[in-house]
């Protein structure tokens, strides 16, 4: 059963790079989104800004992992399968 499945070459390296890039992007995105929201609300207190940024970055991190996971699951399911002929 498992002999039919083959790993794509470089898929582990590509997954590692994508997870690293997704982590950085989600952390930066969370910080930028928190900054934007705090600027709109007019919050000027540095401790409050830092706390909200940390919470936003921690919340955005699982979203980044989820998006990378979905992309790789879609990539692995999109491989053409051999169908038995008549």
Distance CA 12, CA 77 (A): 16
Report pLDDT for 59.
Answer: 93
3-state SS assignment for residue 20:
helix
Report pLDDT for 77.
Answer: 72
> What sign results for the dihedral spanned by CA atoms 52, 53, 57, 63?
positive
Report pLDDT for 69.
Answer: 87
Cut 0.95: pTM above it: no
Question: 23 with 61: CB under 8 angstroms?
Answer: yes
- pLDDT confidence tier of residue 82, bands split at 50, 70 and 90: low
């Amino acid at each position: 059963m498992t002999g039919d499945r083959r790993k794509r070459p470089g898929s582990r390296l590509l997954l590692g790079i994508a997870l690293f890039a997704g982590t950085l992007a989600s952390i930066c995105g969370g910080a930028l989104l928190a900054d934007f929201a705090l600027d709109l609300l007019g919050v000027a207190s540095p401790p409050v800004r830092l706390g909200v940024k940390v919470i936003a970055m921690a919340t955005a991190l699982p979203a980044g992992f989820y998006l990378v996971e979905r992309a790789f699951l879609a990539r692995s399911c999109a491989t053409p399968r051999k169908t038995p002929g008549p």
